[in-house]
Amino acid sequence: MWVDSICINQKDTTERNQQVEIMGSIYSGAKEVFCWLSTCADVENEGRREPSPAGILAIEEALSTIWDGDLSDPGLLQACLGAQKLPARKQHLQNDGRLDEINTTASQMAALGLIHLVAKAQGERHLHELPFFEEHMDSKFRVANEFLPAFQVLKKLAEDPWWSRAWVIQESILPAKVSMVYHDIIMPIELLANFSIAVGGHIEGCCLDLWHSLPEDQVQALRMLVVNVHKIDRFRRTRGQLTGKDLLRVLWRFRDQKATNPRDKVYAFLGLIGDRSDIGPLVPSYTSSILQVYLEATVALLETGSLRVLGGHIRPHPDSGLPSWVQDWATPHQTIEDTSEQTRLFEAWECYRASRDESVVFRRCGDSALAIDGIGVDTVSAVSSTTWGDGARKSVVDMRDTFVEWEKLAGREHGSNKPYYFNGERWQDAFCFTLSTDLIWFDLDIDQKTWLGPPYESGFQRASVWRPQRVRDWWCATKYETGPISWQDWNRHTHSVSMRMTKSKRFFLTQEGKMGLGPPTLSPGDRVYILRGGNMPFLLRSSEAREGGSQPPPDPRYQLLGDCYIHGIMNGEALGGTAGKWETTMLY
């Protein structure tokens, strides 16, 4: 038996370095891991206690057979759903002011039954056909009254702080068998995974109307549980297969996880990577500074041959002391659902070739500088407002109003005197493609009848190649609230593409009249660079003076703002005949 909280001497730095390095092997080799969440009552100071005799009694009376983990066990399902109908015995528990353990455990058992019921409905029944929900006179749905106590257990499960901790990721992903211990019940993690898949699949398609009609508190609870479970299940399905090239995806996906020691925002996830031979040396060292740990992690990721680690708009805070090109893993996403940057960097990124097929060339200079090959190709001349960000959740109407404002800026640049974009397109077409970063979401199940190429899986494709008219029709329907596009296609493009690609982005124009989307911090005068080996262009800001002096430096020194989309140069067009004339660009 191995218990993480007592098997590592946290006060011995040498031992902690050694133990953290092998934790991936410990969890991968375990026969079974029990992940302990909350107990039966909210105890101050995060205290723990064993299930009470009354709770155990209720479980024994609720179940006529011992559950062996079979997810299709009908006896378990009926016993759990019927548990909350047990009479409230042991009344003295209530009379003396203490918790009624029998009723509490009954709700827990009913919650387990609901998880089981929804998981089984994955491909069999719609959510509104389950007894979990009921319809009201206003044709809106909500959790049925008799299941509200069980739903409160699910809500508490979704809000449990266990999900937010950095060190629980390895223990829940790497083992072959994981059992979740929650209050008085134990369930296999696969049961929660199937629940998450079922809810997620239904609310994004056939049961979308039900989802929108639920009370907000119920929507938030179910969404939070789905997100928490999905982020673990997605990596459980590929455990043991991840290499160094996957480390950035892991760190980005779990950057919201909390750790007392900021170094663990990197170290807590190294065990997920089975083969690290394709990245530089990266081993736990709790004697290293936070700056050194984050800098070494960024360099190790650059050595995989990708500039993806330089992308995104989540840059180091000025007070962090980190160089602009180093990822600050202590900075979380804006919200629990803010995966827009992750979607762009790990799915959309591969659709572009801004530096053609060039390989990454870089070197470290001193303690904080990065020298990288690049070519300056343009300068930002005008910027518009930023879309929703800073944790805000805005509606489609807000999105449309922002896009209309952006179109006015583009129209002032082009207008009737300049009807065509630099590449020959109508400027209006170039604008609507910019709103989608020239992408569509291709769903094989829906689009396979008209698919023009091999049977690829669902994912992003270049809109100008596969569905240019769909993007034009989408913008017409968005702007005028009507257009030649089905509601299903409009909704899919809005939520799967446009809202993701434009979230927290600023629309801008360049001196050469190009349109783009960039990070919210960009300003007129910022430079557009093609960095060698980068799939996307990057935005850099010049440092006008030397450190501690007033004279401009002899070589350009830049602050990295992040990557950007610029319509018409995403396939290497900006390089023209300059390929091979790369210059050393210094990032600080």
Q: If DSSP codes are grouped into helix, strand and coil, which group holds residue 239?
A: coil
Strands (E) in 271-430, as ranges, are 362-365, 369-386
pLDDT surpasses 70 at 578: no
Residue at token pair 């509601």: 487
Number of domains in the chain: 3
Do 303 and 415 share a structural domain? no
447: which 2 tokens?
């689009």
The reply to whether 353 falls in a domain is no
The reply to whether 116 falls in a domain is yes
Do 498 and 390 share a structural domain? yes
The reply to whether 142 falls in a domain is yes
**CA 322, CA 327: separation in Å to the nearest integer?**
8
- For residues 69 and 251, which has the higher predicted lDDT (pLDDT)? 251
The reply to whether 520 falls in a domain is no
**Is 5 exposed, middle or buried, given 0-12, 13-18 or 19+ CB atoms closer than 10 A?**
exposed
Do 281 and 250 share a structural domain? yes
The reply to whether 569 falls in a domain is no
What does the pLDDT read at residue 366?
85
298: which 2 tokens?
């960024």
Do 324 and 303 share a structural domain? yes
Residue at token pair 């723990």: 48
Q: How confident is the model at residue 544 (pLDDT cuts 50, 70, 90)?
A: low
Q: If DSSP codes are grouped into helix, strand and coil, which group holds residue 506?
A: strand
Selection from 523, 512, 533, 532 nearest residue 585 by Cα: 532
- Report the DSSP beta bridge partners of residue 124: none
**CA 104, CA 106: separation in Å to the nearest integer?**
5
Do 421 and 293 share a structural domain? no
Element (H, E) at 404: helix 396-413
Do 211 and 323 share a structural domain? no
Indicate the residue among 207, 236, 265 that finishes a domain.
236
Q: How confident is the model at residue 467 (pLDDT cuts 50, 70, 90)?
A: confident
Read off the pLDDT of residues 121-163 as tens digits, 9 standing for 90 and up: 665 667 767 777 777 666 677 887 777 888 888 889 999 999 9
> What is the average per-residue pLDDT within 317-323?
82
Do 212 and 157 share a structural domain? yes
The reply to whether 552 falls in a domain is no
In this prediction the pTM is: 0.81
What does the pLDDT read at residue 78?
63
The reply to whether 150 falls in a domain is yes
What does the pLDDT read at residue 315?
75
Do 307 and 412 share a structural domain? no
What does the pLDDT read at residue 75?
59
Do 83 and 176 share a structural domain? yes
Dmax (CA) for the chain in angstroms is 86
Range of the domain at 148: 31-236
- For residues 58 and 76, which has the higher predicted lDDT (pLDDT)? 76
Average pLDDT, the chain: 79
> What is the average per-residue pLDDT within 310-320?
80
Indicate the residue among 487, 503, 519 that finishes a domain.
503
What does the pLDDT read at residue 533?
95
What does the pLDDT read at residue 394?
57
Read off the pLDDT of residues 341-379 as tens digits, 9 standing for 90 and up: 676 677 889 899 999 999 999 999 988 899 999 999 999
Q: How confident is the model at residue 2 (pLDDT cuts 50, 70, 90)?
A: confident
The reply to whether 327 falls in a domain is yes
Indicate the residue among 215, 236, 257 that finishes a domain.
236
Mark residue 312 as left, alpha or beta (left: phi above 0; alpha: psi -120 to 50; beta: remaining): left
Do 192 and 327 share a structural domain? no
Q: If DSSP codes are grouped into helix, strand and coil, which group holds residue 476?
A: helix
Do 265 and 192 share a structural domain? no
**CA 526, CA 561: separation in Å to the nearest integer?**
9
pLDDT surpasses 80 at 582: yes
Do 259 and 223 share a structural domain? no
Read off the pLDDT of residues 413-460 as tens digits, 9 standing for 90 and up: 877 678 899 999 999 999 999 999 999 887 644 444 343 333 334 578
The one-letter amino acid at 239: R
